[in-house]
Amino acid sequence: MAAGYETKDPSLLAHNLYKKYGKPLSSIEAYPKSLRWFLEDNFSIEVLQPILKLQSSDGTIKGLFESEGGKAFEAAWIPAAKRMTICVSSQAGCRFGCKFCSTGQHGFRGNLSTFEILSQVFGLRKPFNHIVFMGMGEPLDSYQSVKKAVEILNAWWGVSLANRYITISTVGIFPELSKVIEELKCNLAISLHSPFHEERKSIMPVESIYPIKEVIKMLKTKKFTGKRRLSFEYLLLGGFNDSPLHAHETGRLLSGLRCHINLIAYNSIAGANFRRPCLRTIENFREILNEYGLRVTIRISSGYDISAACGMMVGSK
């Protein structure tokens, strides 16, 4: 803070930056005019702006961002009846190389800073009431930046978005997985995709280091109270992981765990030899999981025609 103004509450400035984003610094009425104009003349509230925007036939808008260092990354605004969700990236690319994910197949170009993450939220200039870290990259591999971004989104002086409206999706990395559960209190989504070790390892190399059974064992020791949700993402690959055997083993694996399961049909990407299962297969999978007392949703991916759906973001024009 400028000399002579040290006693002014800095949370007012933060509130103006985040909750009232877009309003000039000179509009902070609680500050004297001299301080307002000092801030206006010496500081900037600008964030990165998308260098390209695409709109899907379903209303989804995808923005391509580029940092000063040349890192390219994408975010998507997904409208629905009661939800307006921004799906943000935490990395440019991804180092985990999942075989069904276009992001992972294009390599890793760097972690995103908190500024770059929040630029996606504010740079799209769209109203929102949910934030999901489900874009490019593994959020727990960029944990410190993600943690700070979540704290700002959640804080009263920030965006004031309740924890239950923020979701972090992860393949399951220790010890960061324990940290996010204890420190951030937001929703958690685990990428499962197969209950069988060798099979999961063949499409998700991370299984070799952090087996899903060990991840679930740890999660069963944690308490997810109130409206906080623990969910599992299960990407159905036709003829690969969508059989009744897979459904029963997944049901046994998750039995006794208070969680939700999202079933997602595979979105085709270049170079991957997988196919999308039929709706009847997906419904059968759900019915079997229901037999184990599990809550299941068949999730419809948005933005497929602009490559904004699950696993399709690559950060290119």
Same domain, 58 and 31: no
Same domain, 38 and 70: no
Same domain, 52 and 138: yes
- Residue 317 domain-assigned? no
Q: What is the pLDDT of residues 41-86, one digit of tens each?
A: 888 778 899 999 999 999 999 999 999 888 999 999 999 988 999 9
**Cross-strand pairs, 64:** 52, 74
| Structure tokens given for 288 | 């079997």
- Residue 315 domain-assigned? no
What is the domain-level CATH number for residue 144?
3.20.20.70
- Residue 316 domain-assigned? no
Same domain, 15 and 78: no
**Residue 170 · residue 177 · CB < 8 Å:** yes
Measured in degrees and rounded to the nearest 5, phi and psi for residue 67 equal -80, 170
pTM score:
0.91
Same domain, 41 and 57: no
Count of domains for the chain:
2
Task: Print the domain residue range for 89.
Answer: 47-306
Query: Catalytic residue among 74, 116, 138, 207, which?
Result: 74
- Residue 2 domain-assigned? no
- Residue 312 domain-assigned? no
Q: What is the pLDDT of residues 205-226, one digit of tens each?
A: 999 999 999 999 999 998 887 7
Q: What is the mean pLDDT of residues 99-108?
A: 87
Residue 259 annotated among the catalytic residues of the structure? no
Query: Catalytic residue among 94, 186, 259, 310, which?
Result: 310
Same domain, 141 and 32: no
Q: Name the strand (E) or helix (H) holding 44.
A: none
Same domain, 189 and 276: yes
Q: What is the pLDDT of residues 14-41, one digit of tens each?
A: 777 787 776 777 777 777 888 878 888 8
Residue 310 annotated among the catalytic residues of the structure? yes
Helix (H, G, I), strand (E, B) or coil at 74: strand
pLDDT at 124 over 50: yes
Same domain, 19 and 99: no
